[in-house]
Amino acid sequence: MSVQMSFVFVKSTGHAMAILTQTAGVDLQAADVATPALSVRGLWDDIGQKYEDAVFKFTPDLLDVFTGDVVEPALTAPRTYFVDKVNKSINVLGSSGVTLAATAGNVHLVLPSPAGGPTNVFIACTTADPDKPEILQPSVSGAGTTFDFAVGPLPSKAYVLGLVAGYLPVWTQVP
């Protein structure tokens, strides 16, 4: 039997959060891999800083699964890929250029160029309860490149993960 790869991804942006390999013919659903939640950890920023304590828990309603052929490089860097479920393809995300900053009450997102048409954004913030992250799923558009989202209040040292459709993931920590 052949081997296939399942990409567990955020529905709203397509960002891969986890990858599983299995024997062909297994049809996984988000609930199979994220009940009660998928713990996403192992975050690195663009300068190599590791956020060892960052854990985001995503419930099945936020995720989907796409199963297809094995993409070998995805095994070592799954979060550099996104799923285009409409075209049934796995693609590499380009360089980010997105910046993210956070305070106890605000997440500040800057895109490298105007969003233009509707662009899906997914923001996850750790809270005092590790099992209940704060999740925002806005869509941004227009000529602007800077967007602010009200959150929290978030505790000091909370982690914030930002996913913007078409860009590499970014994260930060509340001071």
Closest by alpha carbon to 142, among 104, 114, 100? Answer: 114
The rounded Cα 15 to chain-centroid distance in angstroms is 5
pLDDT over 90 percentage in the chain: 66
Lowest mean pLDDT among 8-12, 116-120, 144-148: 116-120
Give yes or no for residue 154 having a pLDDT over 90.
Answer: yes
In the prediction, which pLDDT does 48 show?
58
| Backbone dihedral region for residue 12 (phi beyond 0: left; psi -120 to 50: alpha; all else: beta) | alpha
Residue 31 parent element (H or E): helix 30-33
In the prediction, which pLDDT does 144 show?
86
Q: Domains (ranges, CATH) in the chain?
A: 3-92 (no CATH), 99-173 (2.60.40)
Mean pLDDT along residues 118-145? 91
Give yes or no for residue 128 having a pLDDT over 60.
Answer: yes
Place of tokens 């997914």: 122
CB 94 within 8 A of CB 140: no
Beta bridge partners of 123: 136, 162
Mean pLDDT along residues 110-133? 90
Lowest mean pLDDT among 45-49, 160-164, 170-174: 45-49
Q: What's the whole-model pTM score? A: 0.91
Give yes or no for residue 10 having a pLDDT over 80.
Answer: yes
In the prediction, which pLDDT does 73 show?
92
The rounded Cα 47 to chain-centroid distance in angstroms is 18
Q: Give residue-wise pLDDT tens across range 29-86.
A: 999 999 999 998 877 655 556 667 788 999 999 999 999 989 999 988 888 999 998 9
CB 145 within 8 A of CB 112: yes
